[in-house]
Amino acid sequence: PDDANLDAAHPDAALFAALAAEFEARHGSRPAGFWSAPGRVNLIGEHTDYNEGFVLPFAIDRRAVVALGPSAPAGASDVTAPDARPTARVSSTFSEQIVELPLADLTPDALADWSAYPLGVAWALAERAAATSGAAISGTPSGPVLPGFALHIHSDVPIGAGLSSSAAIECATAVALNEFWQLGLDPVELARIGQIAENQAVGAPTGIMDQSASMLGRADAAVFLDCRSMNTESVPLGLHAEDLEILVIDTRVSHDHATGGYASRRASCEAAASAMGARSLRDLTVADLPRMQQVLDDETFRRARHVITENERVEETVRLLETEGPLAIGALLDASHSSMRDDFEISVPELDLAVEVSQASGAVGARMTGGGFGGSALALIRRDSRPALEAAIVEAFRARGFARPDLFVVQPSAGATLKGHLDD
Ligand code: ADP
Ligand code: MG
């Protein structure tokens, strides 16, 4: 690793220099480079991804940045010792802990807590490398052995706010290791690796949306993703031209997808599809709803109705963005929120309040965003309405005795950086 990586003219030069110093303090060597991936806000299309439906998220201007370099093998001071066992070492600005284990011992069961996100990605990538090229973390006689690595994580994506700090870490780790291990996977494959890590190593049964947004985002655009075909389309948002911005209202009610109602919602969707003889709810439309209401119990019916109507709202949002622009999508955002509150029942009083006050204070539209049970709402607002709208939200939360929400504007931004070396 040479310090040409630390190009002083790079906008993140100061951050990279600080992370290189922290990396060296924790891992005893210089990092080989820096890679990053953003969090995301979902504009519309909630709980549709695992139903093979449509989503429309965008990557935001808050990112995880990882510094990565070779690690010294366990029990060997000489990196080139032939029988040394390559190790994975991970650290984060978020905790004091350094987690180290031999690459060969990386299995979902061995991973827990925050390190399951980066190490889950390492495990999923190693499995993938073994399946495609015979490369192995345990050094099978046939294939090359993947080298050990050390990784240090920094992120300014708020944790547990529904902005996918988890996908930011997964995708930053995935692009870094993809290059370090020379695996040559494309962004869609890397998104899938992140999802496998989250599902199997972390144990959260989430869909492919978060990682897709983090990998594929573009400045000033949303990612329209068909979660069945995995076809993606970049949809310009055109916020600037209309003097609009997207305000995030982080309620600071923390969610937990691994243990929350997420899994039960997913199960209801699967039950509804199978009762209708469909492979997934993607195969049903609003025309099927009357028949579904007769067959399904009320709760399962309402869960399915949310997904089916939400898919239609995503497609309509894309159509309106392409034909009329962002001022036209407010009613769809509002309807999405009502559907999540009443049919899917994943909202909480703080999210409902954030949405109601936004709507009453002149927002174009507003909805909770992310998996629900806490986290953030978004409001599509006119730039000049922000001060009054923010004041109204803060006051409404105070009056209800809720914790003060965190309010900030997000910019639709580019996705993960595939190349970490600042000099190329
Ligand atoms: P969300 O993705 O909505 O922010 P999750 O519960 O899915 O919430 O992911 C949050 C978890 O991701 C944290 O509890 C932590 O384990 C991990 N994480 C997030 N940011 C960091 C970070 N900067 N360093 C280490 N781990 C992190
Ligand atoms: Mg998450």
Element (H, E) at 377: strand 376-382
Q: How far apart are the CA of 40 and the centre of ligand 1, in A?
A: 13
Q: What distances in angstroms separate CA 280 from CA 97, 309, 371, one per listed residue?
A: 42, 14, 19
Q: What is the DSSP letter of 381?
A: E
Read off the amino acid at residue 300: T
Q: Choose one of 19, 42, 65, 166 to mutate for the ligand 1 pocket test, by most ligand atoms within 8 angstroms of C-beta.
A: 166
Q: 3-state DSSP call for residue 52?
A: coil
Q: Are strands 376-382 and 244-250 parallel, antiparallel or unpaired?
A: antiparallel
Q: 3-state DSSP call for residue 49?
A: helix
Q: Which residue, judged by its Cα, is nearest atom 6 of ligand 1? A: 160
Q: Which residue, judged by its Cα, is nearest atom 20 of ligand 1? A: 165
Q: Is the CB of 169 under 6 A from ligand 1?
A: yes
Q: Which residue, judged by its Cα, is nearest atom 8 of ligand 1? A: 160
Which region, left, alpha or beta, applies to residue 387 given φ > 0 means left and ψ of -120 to 50 means alpha? Answer: alpha
Q: Above 50 in pLDDT, residue 3?
A: no
Q: Is the CB of 203 under 6 A from ligand 1?
A: no
pLDDT digits (tens, 9 = 90+) for 184-218: 999 999 999 999 999 999 998 888 999 999 999 99
Q: What distances in angstroms separate CA 28 from CA 16, 147, 183, one per listed residue?
A: 16, 17, 26
Q: What is the DSSP letter of 403?
A: P
pTM of structure: 0.91
Sign of CA dihedral 113, 118, 124, 126: negative
pLDDT at 421: 52
Percent of the chain predicted with pLDDT > 70: 91
Q: How far apart are the CA of 166 and the centre of ligand 2, in A?
A: 4
Q: What is the DSSP letter of 72?
A: P
Read off the amino acid at residue 341: R
Q: How far apart are the CA of 96 and the centre of ligand 2, in A?
A: 21
**Atom nearest to 94 CA in ligand 1:** 24
Per DSSP, which regions of 23-168 are E strands? 33-44, 54-70, 87-92, 95-102, 149-155
Q: Choose one of 15, 22, 117 to mutate for the ligand 1 pocket test, by most ligand atoms within 8 angstroms of C-beta.
A: 117
Q: Choose one of 91, 159, 210 to mutate for the ligand 1 pocket test, by most ligand atoms within 8 angstroms of C-beta.
A: 159
pLDDT at 420: 58
Q: 3-state DSSP call for residue 44?
A: strand
Which has the closest alpha carbon to 63: 33, 42, 35? 35
Q: Is the CB of 153 under 6 A from ligand 1?
A: yes
ipTM score: 0.98
Q: What is the mean pLDDT of the chain?
A: 92
pLDDT at 4: 44
**Atom nearest to 159 CA in ligand 1:** 4
Q: Above 50 in pLDDT, residue 269?
A: yes
Question: Which residue, chain included where needed, has tokens 């769809």?
Answer: 332
User: Do 313 and 286 contact (CB within 8 A), yes or no?
Assistant: no
Q: Which residues crowd ion ligand 2, with CB under 5 Å?
A: 164, 166
pLDDT digits (tens, 9 = 90+) for 74-99: 555 555 555 578 999 999 999 999 99
What residue spans of 324-385 are helical by DSSP H?
330-339, 349-360
Q: Is 9 exposed, middle or buried (0-12, 13-18, 19+ CB in 10 A)?
A: exposed
Q: How far apart are the CA of 296 and the centre of ligand 2, in A?
A: 31
Contacts 24+ apart (CB under 8 A), 87-90: 87/148, 88/119, 88/122, 88/148, 88/149, 88/150, 88/151, 89/26, 89/27, 89/148, 89/149, 89/150, 89/151, 90/115, 90/118, 90/119, 90/150, 90/151, 90/152, 90/153
Ligand nearest to the backbone CA of 255: 1
Q: Is the CB of 165 under 6 A from ligand 1?
A: yes
Percent of the chain predicted with pLDDT > 90: 83
Q: Is the CB of 94 under 6 A from ligand 1?
A: yes
